[in-house]
Amino acid sequence: MPTIKFFDAQGNVSREADLRDEVFAIEPNVHVMHLHLVRQLANGRAGTASTLTRSEVSGGGKKPWKQKGTGRARVGSIRSPLWKGGGVIFGPKPRSYAKDMPKKMRRLALRSALSAKAEDLIGLTDWNLDKPSTKLVKATLAKIGATGRTLIIAEAPNETLSLSARNLANAKVILASNLNVKDLLNHDKIVVTAAALERIEEVLTK
């Protein structure tokens, strides 16, 4: 059974707790994690690229020159896609790139990612932040061994913590309800409070 050590703000181990096998000790399903990541990246695309077709470009209502007698190629509009300033053929239009995924697969992907990163999980009893302090958060992360890229998981919105960590290049704060495969795999260490850990286990064991 995997375990997690909980540290206090001074870097001392306060207690050790067991992690649920069904969340942190399964065989990671790489394929499902990949599908979850592709879905997450696709859902993050704006899909706002837009070009004008020949019917949407302004001007071009009059035939440039008469059909016959000039020796030139016949042309009906200066907004033809063959002309500079004309419309675009099969250009992009606003669209949605959103992908759907069954809830069971999404949860399996999260369990797989958590199991793959179980050894990088670090517990913290409390941040002890009365006011925003980047210096204090940086010092706390160093004391508990959260080196490199660090993902901080909070159970509820914490503006003080978010303001304190936003200037740290290697730290990112997310809510337990917004847990995702990309952030889990993209960070070296994962710092979680007891409340956030309880929330994660509660949701992923349903």
**Domain boundary at 91, 123, 154, which?**
91
Q: How many domains is the chain partitioned into structurally?
A: 2
Q: What is the DSSP letter of 150?
A: E
Instruction: Quote the domain boundaries for residue 120.
Output: 3-46+99-204
| Token output for 121 | 């999980």
Write down how long the chain is.
206
Looking at the structure, tell me whether residues 68 and 85 fall in a common domain: yes
Looking at the structure, tell me whether residues 103 and 153 fall in a common domain: yes
Looking at the structure, tell me whether residues 167 and 109 fall in a common domain: yes
* β-pair partners for 61: none
pLDDT at 14: 86
Report d(CA 35, CA 25) in Å as an integer: 20
Report d(CA 204, CA 201) in Å as an integer: 5
Report d(CA 130, CA 82) in Å as an integer: 65
Looking at the structure, tell me whether residues 36 and 129 fall in a common domain: yes
Q: Under DSSP, is residue 72 helix (H, G, I), strand (E, B) or coil?
A: coil
Looking at the structure, tell me whether residues 134 and 197 fall in a common domain: yes
Report d(CA 196, CA 152) in Å as an integer: 10
Looking at the structure, tell me whether residues 13 and 76 fall in a common domain: no
Phi and psi at 18, nearest 5°, equal -85, 145
Looking at the structure, tell me whether residues 108 and 153 fall in a common domain: yes
Looking at the structure, tell me whether residues 82 and 162 fall in a common domain: no
Low-confidence ranges of the chain (pLDDT < 50): none
Report d(CA 113, CA 118) in Å as an integer: 8
pLDDT at 135: 93
